[in-house]
Amino acid sequence: MTQSSPRPPAPPRRSDATRTAILDAARERFAADGYERATIRAIAKHANIDPSMVMRYYGNKEGLFAAAVSIDLKLPDPASLSREEAGRKLVTHFLAMWEENEVLTALLRVGATNQAGAERMQGIFADQLMPLALRVCPDPEQAPARAALVSSQLLGLALTRYVLRFPPAVALAPEEIVAWTAPTVQRYLTAPHPA
């Protein structure tokens, strides 16, 4: 009995490469131009393809934006997170994400100026931050308000450091940001409700 040799992996399909090129171009254009000014034509030109291909794969600008900013925040598993360390771990995690992921900056820019972008940002935070807030906050009924306060802190930091680029915010070392911000996020998540 002869053994058959393993098959080599299938080469990537042309459509996969085209989709990747479109999404990469869309992320760059949305980040640079904002949602309103980014056009299908400019995105297609950036990807070196015909605009009809963008429409074929994504339907319209809204569909393209939703696909381009499909973001997994990769938050720590709520079950693995100790209540006492939640604030520090969350700030450290978000800071690392913002430092290496320009898509988040694009989403923040668009979310600040466009309803579809704002809804996308709301969905990401509701779906991904709420489970963590539910796990660590003392009263589950307060979890939505606490998650909103955490979001305000993290998004405010991102806005001043990565979008508006306030020089003092940009100059802070990541360790300083964690030291300043983590206690506030921790308080939002776990402190007793203010009387």
Tokens of 9: 């992996």
Query: How far apart are the C-alpha atoms of 49 and 121, rounded to whole Å?
Result: 29
Residues 125-136: tens digit of each pLDDT: 888 899 999 999
pLDDT tens track for 103-124: 777 778 777 777 777 887 888 8
- Residue among 80, 73, 79 at smallest CA distance from 150: 73
Phi, psi of 102 (to 5 degrees): -70, -15
Task: Give the mean pLDDT of 141-147.
Answer: 95
Q: 34 near 69, Cβ under 8 Å?
A: no
Cα(84)–Cα(80) distance, rounded to whole angstroms? Answer: 12
Q: What is the pLDDT of residue 58?
A: 87
pLDDT, position 63: 81
In one-letter notation, the amino acid at residue 85 is E
Structure tokens at 168: 């003092």
Percent residues over pLDDT 70 in the chain = 93
As a whole number of angstroms, the distance between CA 99 and CA 88 comes to 16
Angstrom distance (rounded) from CA 47 to CA 134: 42
Structure confidence at residue 44 as a pLDDT band (50, 70, 90): very high
More confidently predicted of 47 and 102:
47
pLDDT band at residue 154 under the 50/70/90 scheme: very high
For residues 88 and 180, the answer to whether their CB atoms sit within 8 Å is no
Cα end-to-end span (Å), the chain: 79
Instruction: Record the pTM.
Output: 0.72
Q: Which amino acid is at 56?
A: R
φ/ψ of residue 155, rounded to 5: -75, -35
Name the amino acid, one letter, at 192: P
Q: Can you tell me whether residue 11 is helix, strand or coil?
A: coil
Q: Tell me the two tokens of residue 190.
A: 């776990």
Q: What dihedral angle (degrees, nearest 10) is formed by the CA atoms of 50, 51, 53, 55?
A: -170
Give me the pLDDT at residue 106, please: 75
Both tokens assigned to 13: 């399909």
Burial class (CB in 10 A: 0-12, 13-18, 19+), 76: middle
